Amino acid sequence: MQQGIDQAARHILETNDKGGFTVPTSGLYPYQWNWDSVFVALGFAQFDPARACREIETLFEAQWDDGFVPHIIFRRDDPDYFPGPSFWQAGAKLPSSGITQPPVAATAIRMLRDTTADTAVRERIDALFKPVLEWHRWFMRYRVPESCGAVVITHPWESGRDNSPEWDAAAANIDVSQVGPYTRRDLAHADADMRPTKLDYDRYVALVEFGRDTGWDHGAIATGGPFRVADVGMTMILLRAMRDLIALAEATGHSDDIDELESYVVRLNRGVEYLWNAESDTFCSRDTITGAHSGFVTSASFLYAYADAGTPEQRAKMAAHWHRISSRVEYMVPSHDPDDVLFDHRRYWRGPVWIVVNYMIAIGFREQGLDDWADRVRSDSQRMIREHGFSEAFSPLDAGGTGGTNFSWTAAMWLAWCGQGS
Ligand code: DGY
Protein backbone atom coordinates (compact mmCIF):
# COMPACT_ATOMS: atom_id res chain seq x y z
CA MET A 1 0.00 0.00 0.00
CA GLN A 2 2.70 2.45 1.12
CA GLN A 3 4.83 1.59 -1.88
CA GLY A 4 1.84 2.04 -4.17
CA ILE A 5 1.18 5.57 -2.91
CA ASP A 6 4.86 6.48 -3.10
CA GLN A 7 4.96 5.27 -6.69
CA ALA A 8 1.78 7.14 -7.56
CA ALA A 9 3.26 10.34 -6.12
CA ARG A 10 6.46 9.90 -8.08
CA HIS A 11 4.49 9.13 -11.22
CA ILE A 12 2.58 12.44 -10.86
CA LEU A 13 5.83 14.40 -10.67
CA GLU A 14 7.25 12.56 -13.67
CA THR A 15 4.09 13.04 -15.71
CA ASN A 16 3.80 16.74 -14.86
CA ASP A 17 7.50 17.25 -15.63
CA LYS A 18 7.62 19.16 -18.91
CA GLY A 19 11.40 19.08 -19.21
CA GLY A 20 13.17 20.91 -16.41
CA PHE A 21 10.02 22.45 -15.04
CA THR A 22 6.85 20.94 -13.66
CA VAL A 23 3.27 22.08 -14.17
CA PRO A 24 1.06 22.06 -11.04
CA THR A 25 -1.44 19.84 -12.89
CA SER A 26 -2.32 19.44 -16.54
CA GLY A 27 -5.26 21.45 -17.88
CA LEU A 28 -6.04 23.77 -14.97
CA TYR A 29 -2.46 25.06 -14.59
CA PRO A 30 -0.42 24.29 -17.73
CA TYR A 31 2.64 26.48 -16.98
CA GLN A 32 5.37 26.81 -14.37
CA TRP A 33 4.20 28.43 -11.13
CA ASN A 34 6.70 29.96 -8.74
CA TRP A 35 6.00 28.48 -5.29
CA ASP A 36 4.60 25.27 -6.77
CA SER A 37 7.98 24.62 -8.37
CA VAL A 38 9.83 25.16 -5.13
CA PHE A 39 7.70 22.65 -3.21
CA VAL A 40 7.90 20.26 -6.16
CA ALA A 41 11.70 20.45 -5.96
CA LEU A 42 11.51 19.06 -2.42
CA GLY A 43 9.59 16.07 -3.83
CA PHE A 44 12.09 15.45 -6.62
CA ALA A 45 14.90 15.68 -4.07
CA GLN A 46 13.70 12.39 -2.59
CA PHE A 47 14.76 10.45 -5.69
CA ASP A 48 16.67 12.83 -7.99
CA PRO A 49 18.50 15.77 -6.32
CA ALA A 50 19.86 17.04 -9.64
CA ARG A 51 16.33 17.27 -11.03
CA ALA A 52 15.23 19.06 -7.85
CA CYS A 53 17.92 21.66 -8.39
CA ARG A 54 16.92 22.03 -12.05
CA GLU A 55 13.35 22.92 -11.03
CA ILE A 56 14.57 25.95 -9.10
CA GLU A 57 17.12 26.88 -11.76
CA THR A 58 14.40 27.01 -14.42
CA LEU A 59 12.30 29.21 -12.13
CA PHE A 60 15.16 31.70 -11.84
CA GLU A 61 15.72 31.65 -15.62
CA ALA A 62 12.72 33.98 -15.70
CA GLN A 63 14.21 36.48 -13.21
CA TRP A 64 14.11 40.12 -14.32
CA ASP A 65 17.18 42.37 -14.16
CA ASP A 66 15.84 44.10 -11.04
CA GLY A 67 15.64 40.78 -9.15
CA PHE A 68 11.89 40.20 -9.56
CA VAL A 69 10.80 36.56 -10.07
CA PRO A 70 7.36 36.13 -11.66
CA HIS A 71 4.56 33.93 -10.39
CA ILE A 72 3.97 32.21 -13.76
CA ILE A 73 6.44 31.50 -16.56
CA PHE A 74 4.89 30.96 -19.97
CA ARG A 75 7.21 28.90 -22.10
CA ARG A 76 4.53 28.42 -24.74
CA ASP A 77 1.00 29.60 -25.31
CA ASP A 78 -1.65 27.23 -23.96
CA PRO A 79 -5.33 27.86 -24.73
CA ASP A 80 -6.27 25.96 -21.55
CA TYR A 81 -5.33 28.89 -19.32
CA PHE A 82 -6.55 32.46 -18.92
CA PRO A 83 -4.93 34.97 -18.59
CA GLY A 84 -2.07 33.80 -20.79
CA PRO A 85 1.08 35.55 -22.05
CA SER A 86 -0.64 37.79 -24.59
CA PHE A 87 -2.85 39.20 -21.81
CA TRP A 88 -0.05 39.82 -19.31
CA GLN A 89 2.44 41.28 -21.81
CA ALA A 90 5.23 40.87 -19.31
CA GLY A 91 8.55 39.12 -19.02
CA ALA A 92 12.25 39.67 -19.44
CA LYS A 93 14.15 36.65 -20.71
CA LEU A 94 10.94 34.62 -20.89
CA PRO A 95 7.28 35.60 -21.20
CA SER A 96 5.80 35.71 -17.69
CA SER A 97 3.25 37.26 -15.41
CA GLY A 98 4.08 40.64 -13.85
CA ILE A 99 3.40 39.71 -10.21
CA THR A 100 5.29 37.46 -7.82
CA GLN A 101 4.42 34.71 -5.29
CA PRO A 102 5.42 33.61 -1.76
CA PRO A 103 9.24 33.48 -1.54
CA VAL A 104 9.78 29.94 -0.31
CA ALA A 105 12.90 29.38 -2.44
CA ALA A 106 15.57 30.28 0.13
CA THR A 107 14.09 27.90 2.69
CA ALA A 108 13.90 25.05 0.19
CA ILE A 109 17.40 25.69 -1.14
CA ARG A 110 18.77 25.54 2.37
CA MET A 111 17.00 22.20 2.90
CA LEU A 112 18.29 20.83 -0.40
CA ARG A 113 21.81 21.93 0.45
CA ASP A 114 21.67 20.32 3.88
CA THR A 115 20.46 17.00 2.51
CA THR A 116 22.50 16.49 -0.63
CA ALA A 117 25.88 14.80 -0.55
CA ASP A 118 26.44 15.23 -4.29
CA THR A 119 29.08 17.96 -4.66
CA ALA A 120 28.12 18.84 -8.24
CA VAL A 121 24.51 19.43 -7.18
CA ARG A 122 25.71 21.37 -4.15
CA GLU A 123 27.70 23.70 -6.37
CA ARG A 124 24.62 24.35 -8.46
CA ILE A 125 22.58 25.01 -5.32
CA ASP A 126 25.21 27.45 -4.10
CA ALA A 127 25.03 29.30 -7.41
CA LEU A 128 21.38 30.07 -6.60
CA PHE A 129 22.36 32.17 -3.57
CA LYS A 130 22.87 35.40 -5.54
CA PRO A 131 19.66 35.17 -7.61
CA VAL A 132 17.65 34.50 -4.44
CA LEU A 133 19.39 37.40 -2.68
CA GLU A 134 18.43 39.68 -5.59
CA TRP A 135 14.81 38.52 -5.34
CA HIS A 136 14.75 39.25 -1.59
CA ARG A 137 16.23 42.69 -2.30
CA TRP A 138 13.47 43.27 -4.83
CA PHE A 139 10.91 42.49 -2.15
CA MET A 140 12.52 44.87 0.32
CA ARG A 141 12.73 47.62 -2.32
CA TYR A 142 9.22 47.39 -3.72
CA ARG A 143 7.05 45.42 -1.33
CA VAL A 144 8.20 45.94 2.24
CA PRO A 145 7.77 49.65 3.01
CA GLU A 146 9.57 51.03 6.06
CA SER A 147 6.20 52.39 7.21
CA CYS A 148 4.71 48.96 7.93
CA GLY A 149 7.55 46.43 7.57
CA ALA A 150 5.23 43.75 6.21
CA VAL A 151 5.08 42.33 2.67
CA VAL A 152 2.47 44.26 0.69
CA ILE A 153 0.80 42.34 -2.13
CA THR A 154 -0.61 44.17 -5.14
CA HIS A 155 -2.77 41.31 -6.45
CA PRO A 156 -4.52 38.51 -4.50
CA TRP A 157 -2.73 35.99 -6.76
CA GLU A 158 0.60 37.10 -5.29
CA SER A 159 -0.37 35.71 -1.90
CA GLY A 160 -1.01 32.29 -3.45
CA ARG A 161 -4.23 32.38 -1.39
CA ASP A 162 -6.22 33.83 -4.26
CA ASN A 163 -9.76 34.15 -2.92
CA SER A 164 -9.15 34.19 0.82
CA PRO A 165 -11.78 36.31 2.63
CA GLU A 166 -8.75 38.29 3.82
CA TRP A 167 -8.87 40.21 0.54
CA ASP A 168 -12.63 40.82 0.28
CA ALA A 169 -12.81 44.26 1.87
CA ALA A 170 -9.74 45.68 0.11
CA ALA A 171 -10.78 44.15 -3.23
CA ALA A 172 -14.19 45.83 -3.01
CA ASN A 173 -12.42 49.11 -3.88
CA ILE A 174 -11.10 47.80 -7.21
CA ASP A 175 -12.89 49.43 -10.14
CA VAL A 176 -14.10 46.66 -12.47
CA SER A 177 -16.20 48.92 -14.71
CA GLN A 178 -13.58 48.96 -17.48
CA VAL A 179 -13.01 45.20 -17.57
CA GLY A 180 -13.90 43.93 -21.02
CA PRO A 181 -15.24 40.50 -21.93
CA TYR A 182 -12.99 37.50 -21.24
CA THR A 183 -13.44 33.76 -21.04
CA ARG A 184 -12.43 31.90 -17.92
CA ARG A 185 -10.70 28.60 -18.66
CA ASP A 186 -10.48 27.29 -15.10
CA LEU A 187 -14.17 26.33 -15.04
CA ALA A 188 -13.56 23.79 -17.82
CA HIS A 189 -11.30 21.90 -15.41
CA ALA A 190 -12.80 22.36 -11.94
CA ASP A 191 -16.29 22.75 -10.43
CA ALA A 192 -17.45 26.36 -10.15
CA ASP A 193 -18.23 25.93 -6.43
CA MET A 194 -14.56 25.12 -5.82
CA ARG A 195 -13.24 28.17 -7.64
CA PRO A 196 -13.26 31.97 -7.18
CA THR A 197 -16.44 33.79 -8.24
CA LYS A 198 -17.03 35.92 -11.35
CA LEU A 199 -16.64 39.09 -9.23
CA ASP A 200 -13.30 37.81 -7.92
CA TYR A 201 -12.15 37.21 -11.49
CA ASP A 202 -13.25 40.65 -12.67
CA ARG A 203 -11.06 42.09 -9.93
CA TYR A 204 -8.12 39.84 -10.82
CA VAL A 205 -8.38 40.96 -14.44
CA ALA A 206 -8.71 44.65 -13.53
CA LEU A 207 -5.50 44.42 -11.48
CA VAL A 208 -3.60 42.73 -14.31
CA GLU A 209 -4.80 45.49 -16.65
CA PHE A 210 -3.64 48.13 -14.16
CA GLY A 211 -0.15 46.63 -13.93
CA ARG A 212 0.07 46.12 -17.67
CA ASP A 213 -0.86 49.77 -18.26
CA THR A 214 2.10 50.87 -16.14
CA GLY A 215 4.39 48.69 -18.28
CA TRP A 216 4.86 46.53 -15.15
CA ASP A 217 6.53 49.39 -13.29
CA HIS A 218 6.71 47.83 -9.82
CA GLY A 219 7.46 51.14 -8.12
CA ALA A 220 4.32 52.69 -9.61
CA ILE A 221 2.19 49.65 -8.76
CA ALA A 222 3.51 49.62 -5.18
CA THR A 223 2.67 53.27 -4.58
CA GLY A 224 -0.41 53.80 -6.74
CA GLY A 225 -2.06 50.42 -7.29
CA PRO A 226 -5.70 49.96 -6.26
CA PHE A 227 -4.95 46.90 -4.11
CA ARG A 228 -2.14 47.08 -1.53
CA VAL A 229 -2.57 44.66 1.34
CA ALA A 230 0.04 43.63 3.88
CA ASP A 231 -0.18 39.84 3.70
CA VAL A 232 0.37 37.77 6.83
CA GLY A 233 1.35 34.66 4.82
CA MET A 234 3.94 36.41 2.66
CA THR A 235 5.38 38.27 5.63
CA MET A 236 5.87 35.15 7.74
CA ILE A 237 7.29 33.27 4.75
CA LEU A 238 9.75 36.03 3.80
CA LEU A 239 10.85 36.47 7.41
CA ARG A 240 11.71 32.80 7.64
CA ALA A 241 13.30 32.79 4.18
CA MET A 242 15.47 35.76 5.16
CA ARG A 243 16.90 33.82 8.10
CA ASP A 244 17.46 30.80 5.87
CA LEU A 245 19.28 33.04 3.42
CA ILE A 246 21.51 34.26 6.24
CA ALA A 247 22.37 30.64 7.04
CA LEU A 248 23.10 30.06 3.36
CA ALA A 249 25.28 33.19 3.26
CA GLU A 250 27.29 31.81 6.16
CA ALA A 251 27.61 28.38 4.55
CA THR A 252 28.56 29.63 1.10
CA GLY A 253 31.07 32.36 1.93
CA HIS A 254 28.78 35.35 1.40
CA SER A 255 29.30 36.85 4.85
CA ASP A 256 29.46 40.37 3.35
CA ASP A 257 25.72 40.19 2.74
CA ILE A 258 24.76 39.22 6.28
CA ASP A 259 24.42 42.71 7.85
CA GLU A 260 22.07 43.74 5.08
CA LEU A 261 19.97 40.59 5.51
CA GLU A 262 19.82 41.08 9.26
CA SER A 263 18.46 44.58 8.77
CA TYR A 264 15.70 43.03 6.64
CA VAL A 265 14.87 40.61 9.46
CA VAL A 266 14.47 43.59 11.80
CA ARG A 267 12.13 45.35 9.36
CA LEU A 268 10.02 42.22 8.80
CA ASN A 269 9.73 41.67 12.54
CA ARG A 270 8.23 45.14 12.76
CA GLY A 271 5.85 44.00 10.03
CA VAL A 272 4.72 41.11 12.20
CA GLU A 273 3.74 43.63 14.88
CA TYR A 274 1.85 45.68 12.29
CA LEU A 275 -0.17 42.55 11.46
CA TRP A 276 -1.22 41.74 15.02
CA ASN A 277 -4.91 42.46 15.50
CA ALA A 278 -5.70 42.90 19.18
CA GLU A 279 -9.44 42.76 18.51
CA SER A 280 -9.43 39.27 17.03
CA ASP A 281 -6.28 38.25 18.92
CA THR A 282 -4.61 37.00 15.78
CA PHE A 283 -1.99 37.71 13.14
CA CYS A 284 -3.88 38.62 9.99
CA SER A 285 -3.54 40.64 6.81
CA ARG A 286 -4.09 44.40 6.76
CA ASP A 287 -5.11 46.86 4.07
CA THR A 288 -2.34 49.47 3.87
CA ILE A 289 -4.66 51.97 2.17
CA THR A 290 -7.31 52.01 4.90
CA GLY A 291 -5.28 50.50 7.74
CA ALA A 292 -8.04 47.96 8.39
CA HIS A 293 -7.15 44.46 9.59
CA SER A 294 -9.02 41.56 8.01
CA GLY A 295 -9.63 40.27 11.54
CA PHE A 296 -9.63 36.68 10.25
CA VAL A 297 -7.83 33.65 11.59
CA THR A 298 -6.58 31.75 8.55
CA SER A 299 -4.09 28.95 8.10
CA ALA A 300 -1.56 31.68 7.26
CA SER A 301 -1.99 33.09 10.80
CA PHE A 302 -0.42 29.89 12.15
CA LEU A 303 2.74 30.53 10.14
CA TYR A 304 3.88 32.71 13.07
CA ALA A 305 5.65 29.62 14.39
CA TYR A 306 7.38 28.96 11.05
CA ALA A 307 8.62 32.57 11.18
CA ASP A 308 9.56 32.24 14.86
CA ALA A 309 7.48 35.37 15.40
CA GLY A 310 5.27 36.76 18.13
CA THR A 311 5.52 37.50 21.84
CA PRO A 312 4.64 34.86 24.47
CA GLU A 313 1.28 36.63 24.94
CA GLN A 314 0.52 36.57 21.22
CA ARG A 315 1.50 32.92 20.99
CA ALA A 316 -0.85 32.11 23.88
CA LYS A 317 -3.71 33.80 22.00
CA MET A 318 -2.84 31.81 18.87
CA ALA A 319 -2.89 28.64 20.99
CA ALA A 320 -6.48 29.43 21.98
CA HIS A 321 -7.39 29.69 18.29
CA TRP A 322 -5.61 26.42 17.60
CA HIS A 323 -7.62 24.58 20.27
CA ARG A 324 -10.90 26.14 19.15
CA ILE A 325 -10.39 25.39 15.45
CA SER A 326 -8.95 21.92 15.93
CA SER A 327 -12.06 20.86 17.81
CA ARG A 328 -14.30 22.17 15.01
CA VAL A 329 -12.88 20.33 12.00
CA GLU A 330 -11.92 16.76 11.30
CA TYR A 331 -8.84 17.69 9.28
CA MET A 332 -6.44 20.50 10.14
CA VAL A 333 -5.61 23.20 9.07
CA PRO A 334 -8.57 24.89 7.32
CA SER A 335 -7.58 27.87 5.19
CA HIS A 336 -10.34 29.92 6.79
CA ASP A 337 -11.82 30.05 10.28
CA PRO A 338 -14.65 27.47 10.47
CA ASP A 339 -16.49 29.72 12.96
CA ASP A 340 -16.71 32.55 10.46
CA VAL A 341 -19.74 32.94 8.20
CA LEU A 342 -17.53 33.11 5.12
CA PHE A 343 -16.09 29.65 5.76
CA ASP A 344 -16.81 27.40 2.76
CA HIS A 345 -15.25 23.96 3.03
CA ARG A 346 -15.02 23.40 -0.73
CA ARG A 347 -14.19 26.81 -2.19
CA TYR A 348 -10.45 27.13 -2.80
CA TRP A 349 -8.89 29.35 -0.10
CA ARG A 350 -12.12 29.97 1.83
CA GLY A 351 -11.94 26.74 3.82
CA PRO A 352 -10.09 23.85 2.15
CA VAL A 353 -6.84 22.50 3.57
CA TRP A 354 -3.68 22.97 1.49
CA ILE A 355 -0.96 20.44 2.13
CA VAL A 356 1.91 22.85 1.44
CA VAL A 357 0.61 25.26 4.04
CA ASN A 358 0.23 22.36 6.47
CA TYR A 359 3.85 21.46 5.77
CA MET A 360 5.09 24.93 6.70
CA ILE A 361 2.83 25.10 9.75
CA ALA A 362 4.07 21.71 10.95
CA ILE A 363 7.72 22.75 10.51
CA GLY A 364 7.05 25.79 12.67
CA PHE A 365 5.21 23.87 15.37
CA ARG A 366 7.94 21.24 15.51
CA GLU A 367 10.63 23.90 15.87
CA GLN A 368 8.67 25.56 18.68
CA GLY A 369 8.36 22.25 20.54
CA LEU A 370 4.63 21.98 19.79
CA ASP A 371 4.98 18.34 18.84
CA ASP A 372 1.37 17.30 19.43
CA TRP A 373 0.16 20.00 17.07
CA ALA A 374 2.80 19.15 14.46
CA ASP A 375 1.82 15.47 14.70
CA ARG A 376 -1.84 16.30 14.20
CA VAL A 377 -1.11 18.40 11.10
CA ARG A 378 1.06 15.67 9.64
CA SER A 379 -1.28 12.76 10.34
CA ASP A 380 -4.30 14.69 9.06
CA SER A 381 -2.38 15.48 5.88
CA GLN A 382 -1.47 11.86 5.48
CA ARG A 383 -5.06 10.69 5.99
CA MET A 384 -6.45 13.17 3.47
CA ILE A 385 -4.09 11.93 0.78
CA ARG A 386 -4.61 8.27 1.64
CA GLU A 387 -8.38 8.67 1.56
CA HIS A 388 -8.75 11.01 -1.42
CA GLY A 389 -5.58 11.00 -3.49
CA PHE A 390 -3.38 13.84 -4.66
CA SER A 391 -5.93 16.62 -4.89
CA GLU A 392 -5.16 20.29 -5.13
CA ALA A 393 -6.78 20.86 -1.70
CA PHE A 394 -9.15 19.03 0.68
CA SER A 395 -12.29 19.73 2.63
CA PRO A 396 -11.43 20.08 6.33
CA LEU A 397 -14.80 18.49 7.14
CA ASP A 398 -14.75 15.29 5.08
CA ALA A 399 -11.37 15.37 3.27
CA GLY A 400 -13.14 15.44 -0.10
CA GLY A 401 -10.71 16.57 -2.79
CA THR A 402 -11.26 20.06 -4.18
CA GLY A 403 -9.94 21.74 -7.34
CA GLY A 404 -7.54 19.87 -9.63
CA THR A 405 -6.36 16.28 -9.28
CA ASN A 406 -2.94 14.62 -9.73
CA PHE A 407 -1.47 17.72 -8.19
CA SER A 408 2.30 18.07 -8.23
CA TRP A 409 2.83 19.84 -4.93
CA THR A 410 0.53 17.47 -3.04
CA ALA A 411 2.51 14.53 -4.45
CA ALA A 412 5.77 16.27 -3.59
CA MET A 413 4.68 16.84 0.00
CA TRP A 414 3.75 13.17 0.33
CA LEU A 415 7.26 12.17 -0.75
CA ALA A 416 9.14 14.84 1.19
CA TRP A 417 7.04 14.94 4.32
CA CYS A 418 3.71 13.45 5.34
CA GLY A 419 4.04 10.10 3.54
CA GLN A 420 7.46 9.35 4.94
CA GLY A 421 7.58 6.29 7.19
CA SER A 422 3.80 6.04 7.19
C1 DGY B 1 -5.15 30.71 -10.92
O2 DGY B 1 -5.17 30.94 -12.13
O3 DGY B 1 -6.11 30.23 -10.30
C4 DGY B 1 -3.89 30.88 -10.20
O5 DGY B 1 -4.00 30.60 -8.86
C6 DGY B 1 -3.30 32.24 -10.42
O7 DGY B 1 -2.02 32.19 -9.91
Ligand 1 atom 6, closest CA: 157
Domain map (residue ranges) of the chain = 2-418
Q: Calculate how far, in angstroms, residue 372's C-alpha sits from the geometric centre of ligand 1.
A: 33
Q: What is the pLDDT of residue 1?
A: 63
Strands (E) in 161-273, as ranges, are 229-230
Q: Calculate how far, in angstroms, residue 274's C-alpha sits from the geometric centre of ligand 1.
A: 28
Q: Calculate how far, in angstroms, residue 162's C-alpha sits from the geometric centre of ligand 1.
A: 7
Q: What is the pLDDT of residue 421?
A: 80
Q: What is the pLDDT of residues 158-206, one digit of tens each?
A: 999 999 999 999 999 999 999 999 999 999 999 999 999 999 999 999 9
| DSSP result, 74-86 | -SS--TTSSS-HH
Query: Of 6, 55, 162, 244, which residue is the catalytic one?
Result: 162
CATH topology of domain 2-418: Glycosyltransferase (1.50.10)
Backbone angles phi, psi at 19, to 5 degrees: 100, 75
Q: What is the pLDDT of residues 30-54, one digit of tens each?
A: 999 999 999 999 999 999 999 999 9
Please work out whether the CB of residue 349 comes within 6 Å of at least one atom of ligand 1. Answer: no
CA atoms within 13 A on the CB side of 111: 22
Please work out whether the CB of residue 162 comes within 6 Å of at least one atom of ligand 1. Answer: yes
Please work out whether the CB of residue 157 comes within 6 Å of at least one atom of ligand 1. Answer: yes
Residues 6+ apart with CB under 8 A from 96: 62, 70, 72, 73, 74, 85, 88, 90
Which residues of the chain fall below pLDDT 50?
Answer: none
| Catalytic residue check, 162 | yes
Q: What is the pLDDT of residue 92?
A: 85
Ligand 1 atom 7, closest CA: 157
- What atom in ligand 1 is closest to the CA of residue 72? 7
For a pocket test of ligand 1, which of 29, 78, 201 has the largest count of ligand atoms closer than 8 A to its C-beta?
29
First to last CA, the chain: 10
Please work out whether the CB of residue 348 comes within 6 Å of at least one atom of ligand 1. Answer: no
